Amino acid sequence: MAINRFHHFSVLIFLLLPLFLQFHSGKSELQYNYYAESCPNAEEIIKQEVIKLYNIHGNTAVSWVRNLFHDCVLKSCDASLLLETVNGIESEQASDRSFGMRNFKYVKTIKDALEQECPMTVSCADVVALSARDGIVMLGGPRIEMKTGRRDSQESYFAEMDSLIPNHNDSISSVLSRFQSLGVDVKATVALLGAHSVGRVHCVNLVHRLYPTVDPTLDPHYAEYLKGRCPTPDPNPKAVLYARNDRETPMILDNNYYKNVLNHKGLLIIDQQLASDPTTLPYVEKMAADNGYFQDQFSRAVLLLSENSPLTGDQGEIRKDCRYVNSN
């Protein structure tokens, strides 16, 4: 009888130990409908704000997607990107890697709507993730079911941005390596780069492919169009000088990007390298041929990225204002 009791006790300890460790460490996993009890309308509020902003400023949807990429690739999906420079914190927005990013002020619009409904409940990190999800839908992309429960960092990673965020001039092998270190495989990385099918690129990031001589991997007619958009080799970074990533469907998240890449019309060096690297070319060809396949892979890739090392449980904090840690 004593042995039997001991056996039951051992089984109970075995079953409860993971829960104890989770509670003791302060960690918990992301989950679907994390705010179901604490703020049941949270996801709907974010969605409606994203729609309202899109109808006034269509480019906000592109910004939300880029925010997710920059925030999650760096260290963690923890809204460190949104912190402004104050009291010893140097904003990641001031880095060269953040060149061209905009619409941060409208994150406050979304967060204020949440604060009105559920004060100090919904994290800025989840605002970054869910606004990207809803922005993708506004851009004609797939609806992605996302887990929530991320918490906000209390520090900026400005000093590490150059080493951790891939650059458009990096080699495809280094970009693949960086993403693989985050658990994002080759196919998912190729799909993520499909986000380049929307938005635009400033001439500052293009002119090295046009001047003094045209990059031989660029389609000559396309190069002439780009020269029309970027007429000088030294554009003013503050001037509105840019080329659309995709001239045919510039605000639709679709597989035209891959068709352009195969036709030597990739804007950035990293885009064009997708078609010349034997590890990525088969996926480029498959995504170019099948928009449904691209959207499926894009959904999977966004989920992988959005769940990179989140702060959960009692880690970090829930910021009241996404621009500042609560102590500021």
Q: Say if residues 152 and 318 touch (Cβ distance below 8 Å).
A: yes
Can the peptide bond before residue 212 be classed as cis, meaning omega within 30 degrees of 0? Answer: yes
Tokens 């605002």 found at: 127
φ and ψ of 103, to 5 deg: 70, 15
pLDDT digits (tens, 9 = 90+) for 134-187: 999 999 999 999 999 999 999 999 998 888 888 877 899 999 999 999 999 999
The residue annotated as part of the active site, out of 24, 70, 168, 196, is: 70
What is the 8-class DSSP label of residue 94? Answer: G
How confident is residue 25, by pLDDT bands cut at 50, 70 and 90? Answer: very low
Residue 127 corresponds to which tokens in the numbers above?
Answer: 């605002």
The pLDDT assigned to 210 comes to 97
The larger pLDDT score, comparing residue 111 to residue 7, is at: 111
How confident is residue 316, by pLDDT bands cut at 50, 70 and 90? Answer: very high
Q: Say if residues 38 and 118 touch (Cβ distance below 8 Å).
A: yes
Tell me: pLDDT of 205 over 50: yes
| CA–CA separation, 310 and 40 (whole Å) | 21
Q: Say if residues 21 and 28 touch (Cβ distance below 8 Å).
A: no
Residue 297 corresponds to which tokens in the numbers above?
Answer: 């892979």
Task: Report which residue type is found at 315.
Answer: Q
Alpha-carbon 325 to chain mean position: 21
How confident is residue 4, by pLDDT bands cut at 50, 70 and 90? Answer: low
Q: Say if residues 129 and 47 touch (Cβ distance below 8 Å).
A: no
φ and ψ of 311, to 5 deg: -80, 135
Partners of 242 in the beta sheet? Answer: 202
Task: Give the mean pLDDT of 20-40.
Answer: 72
Q: Angle of helix 105-117 relative to helix 124-138, nearest 10 degrees?
A: 110
Tell me: pLDDT of 3 over 60: no
| CA–CA separation, 207 and 72 (whole Å) | 29
Q: Say if residues 59 and 103 touch (Cβ distance below 8 Å).
A: yes
As a whole number of Å, the end-to-end CA separation of the chain is: 61
φ and ψ of 240, to 5 deg: -85, 80
Rounded to two decimals, the pTM is 0.89
Show the 3-state SS of 132-199.
Answer: HHHHHHHCCCCCCCCCECCEECCCCCHHHHHHHCCCCCCCHHHHHHHHHCCCCCHHHHHHHHHHHHCC
The pLDDT assigned to 91 comes to 87
The pLDDT assigned to 1 comes to 52
Question: Which value, in Å, is the radius of gyration of the alpha carbons in the chain?
Answer: 22
| CA–CA separation, 163 and 177 (whole Å) | 12
The pLDDT assigned to 290 comes to 98
Residue 70 annotated as catalytic: yes
Partners of 148 in the beta sheet? Answer: 31
| CA–CA separation, 192 and 178 (whole Å) | 13
Dihedral over alpha carbons 136, 142, 143, 145 (to 10 degrees): -100
Exposed (0-12), middle (13-18) or buried (19+): which is 111, by Cβ within 10 Å?
buried
The pLDDT assigned to 294 comes to 98
